Amino acid sequence: MNDLERQLHYPLGDALPESGRCITVAPGVKWIRMGLPFALNHINLWLLRDEQAGVQGWSIVDCCIHHDDAKAQWESIFTHELEGLPVLRVIVTHMHPDHIGLAHWLCQRWSGEDASAGAYACPLWISALDYHVAKFGCMGPTAFGGERAANFFAAHGLNDPEMVAQIRARINYFPSLVPSVPEQYHRMLDGQQVQVGAHTWHCISGYGHAPEHIALYCEGLGVLIGGDMMLPRISTNVSVYEQEPEANSLALFLNSIDKFKSLPASTLVLPSHGKPFTGMHTRIQQLHDHHRDRLAEVMEACSAKPCSAYDIIPVLFKRPMDLHQMTFAIGEAIAHLHALWFEGRLVRSLGQNRDAPGGGDGIYRFAASESAAVVAASSASPLPSPSPTT
Ligand SMILES: [Zn+2]
């Protein structure tokens, strides 16, 4: 546990659910933990006691990736944890593979012949944006990644030919973890209330991590299902991707987590990774501080010389990384550069294409703007907290 984690409180201590079993964390709320074959090696999923049209059952929140081991763990959960009741609905916080990967299988598993007939007795609930992005991602091997991603990362300075080639070749990543999504969905929107059994859950949208992440807050239980928008230990990945190359993801993320400030300090946060915790307001401030410090480091580096996103990686990340982590890292580096660029503190330039007269390398670099240089020269005070606008 690091110093920042020690400022949070973990009401369940070190307890973790066993494989294929649950721990009850609030009345009618069960915690499932499944392994992931990534550096981030687990995900938390939730069961909510539900009732739909007089039928008693459960809602599942998040699904794990499409993987035989995850299916086997779900079957164990169905045998031991459902009290003989069916799953009535699958709620997905956002479209990342560890959250939506098995939604198609779970909805089919609990809809039976209804799903084959084109209707779902056990439907998927998700934001419209994340549904359609996931649907697009699993439609073909080249929807995400591949050539476009390789070109995008190269334009942001990735100059290792082997890594660029590996990114170019990685064309089936999303469909391998999310082979399909259900044909229909039920839309969740910011501010919407979702009745789950005896409890009302409020949808809270979040941006900067996924297209339209939905966290769920239940006032009656004092519980927030935070998804990936409120994690206790690691900071949420906030990236810029090739589909939206001029996104200001970090500003979107920091604005989004501020929406949780209006929730009570006693709220029990159920995160997708790590342990359930209280101390959300402290955590929100930690995340602001973390990104403020990273932005100050990026600003310092870009004041010394114009930097590409690839140049910034050793500033932001002090550890060796595999290809998967490197793609996240470049996306994060771009997000930090863009936050400063949108604030007018950095200016962006594109090295001329190397084939053009005068040469150049076709790489985006960011340098301190003149006004930022004046501020830096006249003041030794720390940088202000980012105050992003949407
Ligand atoms: Zn995610």
For residue 103, the CA-to-ligand 1 centroid distance in Å is 15
pLDDT given for residue 139 in this prediction: 86
Contacts of 69-73 with C-beta under 8 Å, sequence gap 24+, read 69/35, 70/34, 70/101, 70/102, 71/102, 71/105, 72/20, 73/19, 73/20, 73/32, 73/34
What pLDDT score does 18 carry? 95
pLDDT at site 293: 97
Q: What is the pLDDT along the chain (390 residues), one digit of tens a residue?
A: 788 888 999 999 999 999 999 999 999 999 999 998 887 889 999 999 999 999 999 999 999 999 999 999 999 999 999 999 999 999 999 999 999 999 999 999 999 877 777 788 999 999 999 999 999 999 877 778 889 999 999 999 998 899 999 999 988 889 999 999 999 999 999 999 999 999 999 999 999 999 999 999 999 999 999 999 999 989 999 999 999 999 999 999 999 999 999 999 999 999 999 999 999 999 999 999 999 999 999 999 999 999 999 999 999 998 888 888 888 999 999 999 999 999 999 999 998 655 555 447 899 999 999 866 555 555 444 333 333 333
Q: What pLDDT does residue 77 have?
A: 98
- 189 C-alpha to ligand 1 centroid (Å): 18
CA of 228 to the centre of ligand 1 (A): 5
The pLDDT of residue 349: 94
pTM: 0.91
Give me 61's structure tokens. 């929140």
> How many CA atoms are closer than 13 Å to the CA of 181, on its beta-carbon side?
32
CA of 53 to the centre of ligand 1 (A): 32
CA of 385 from ligand 1 middle (Å) equals 25
Ligand 1 centroid–CA 160 distance in Å is 27
CA of 366 to the centre of ligand 1 (A): 28
198 token code pair: 């005896």
How far is the centre of ligand 1, averaged over its atoms, from the C-alpha of 186 (Å)? 20
pLDDT at residue 354, as a whole number: 52
Task: Map residue 94 onto helix, strand or coil.
Answer: coil
What's the gap in Å between 96 CA and the centre of ligand 1?
5
Structure tokens at 189: 């929107």
CA of 351 to the centre of ligand 1 (A): 33
Distance 76 CA to ligand 1 centre (A): 25
Distance 197 CA to ligand 1 centre (A): 27
Ligand 1 center–CA 238 separation, angstroms: 9
The pLDDT value given to residue 384:
39
- Give distance in angstroms: CA of 117 to centre of ligand 1: 31
Q: Is 17 exposed, middle or buried (0-12, 13-18, 19+ CB in 10 A)?
A: buried
Q: Distance from the CA of 210 to the center of ligand 1, in angstroms?
A: 6
Measure the CA–CA gap between 101 and 106, rounded to whole angstroms: 10
Secondary structure (3-state) at 363: coil
| 216 Cα–ligand 1 center, Å | 15
* Encoded tokens for 128: 């419209």
The count of other CB atoms within 10 Å of the CB of residue 240 is 25
Give Cα 196 distance to the centre of its chain.
24
Query: What is the Å distance from ligand 1's center to 227 Cα?
Result: 8
CA of 83 to the centre of ligand 1 (A): 30
Supply the pLDDT for residue 323: 83
Distance 180 CA to ligand 1 centre (A): 18
CA distance 344 to 124: 42
CB atoms within 10 A of CB 214: 28
**Ligand 1 centre from 55 Cα, in Å?**
32
Distance (angstroms) between ligand 1 centre and the Cα of 94 equals 7
Ligand 1 centroid–CA 306 distance in Å is 31
Give distance in angstroms: CA of 376 to centre of ligand 1. Answer: 36
